[in-house]
Amino acid sequence: MKLALAADHGGVELKEEIKKYLADKDLELIDLGTDCSDSVDYPFYGKACGEAVMSGKADRGIVFCGTGIGISIAANKVKGIRCALATSTVMAELSRKHNNANVLALGGRILSLEEAKAIVDVWLTTEFEGGRHKRRTDLLDEM
């Protein structure tokens, strides 16, 4: 799986730690920045990740900012992106099972590294259930 990662200054530290954590897994990681803690604008990074997923450059993406909120809004502006902010493994699991989330948002100032690792693991390994949920994700994609 090709996985795009993008963060603003509030999420860069968590992005770098998750990147290290995922390095030994069977994934191709595409780092879209930022690479430092200097203040940057999260909309550019959320959009870049969403566009990477929708263009096929990446299969899925993970975005990071201070809370995960702003960058998730930015990613969701890209048509076809279903970015889910997850603060628990239950949210990560259901975002995949029911919403077929193709981008995950995490808050660098909200989650511990251990919480983030657990959320990422669940999100990467949970499959979409389809069925009645497919009808709903199709409706989202038509919006």
**What is the full DSSP assignment across the chain?**
-EEEEEE-TTTHHHHHHHHHHHTTSS-EEEE----SSS---HHHHHHHHHHHHHHTS-SEEEEEESSSHHHHHHHHTSTT--EEE-SSHHHHHHHHHTT--SEEEEETTTS-HHHHHHHHHHHHHPPP--THHHHHHHHHHH-
Catalytic residues: 65, 98
